[in-house]
Amino acid sequence: MDEERIIQELNFKAVRSSGSGGQHVNKTSSKVELYFPVEASEALSEEEKARILKKLANRITVAGELVLQSDISRSQHKNKKDVTLRFLNLIKDALKKRKPRKKTKPSRAAREKRLKKKKIKAEKKAGRKNPLQ
């Protein structure tokens, strides 16, 4: 993954932010939307694209774009920086390979402890039964 090439492939769009904010909010476009065409990317290998498409499937549109937005700040530049950082972290996280789990058996002491607890619980429940039955 080449961060610089990926950043060059990003498309940004500034839109008007929602919510309260007085008169100024009606005139400025401070909210930033980031669009990244995953399948059309040249900075990612086919394997990386497949991994991203699988792990981020719920965030990718029908057109095959990953869309993120930021309206944390009133500044368009800060929002652009924020959404870019979030995007890079999301991509890095999606590309991480999980370590395979090693199968292990419970230890002898753990098995004995479980059986002891089971026996105590069974005796407790047996003590609740009606003695006439």
Is residue 67 pLDDT above 70, yes or no? yes
Q: For position 94, what pLDDT does the model report? A: 93
How many CB atoms lie under 10 A from the CB of residue 9? 15
Residue with tokens 């086919």: 46
- How far, in Å, CA of 107 to CA of 3, rounded? 46
Instruction: Read off the pTM.
Output: 0.71
The CATH code belonging to domain 3-95 is 3.30.160.20
Interaxial angle between packed helices 46-55 and 76-95, expressed in degrees from 0 to 180 and rounded to the nearest 10: 100
Provide the residue ranges of all domains of the chain, joining segments of one domain with +.
Answer: 3-95
Q: Are 65 and 53 in contact (CB under 8 A)?
A: no
- How far, in Å, CA of 8 to CA of 52, rounded? 18
- How far, in Å, CA of 6 to CA of 52, rounded? 13
Give me the percent of the chain exceeding a pLDDT of 90. 64
Q: For position 19, what pLDDT does the model report? A: 67
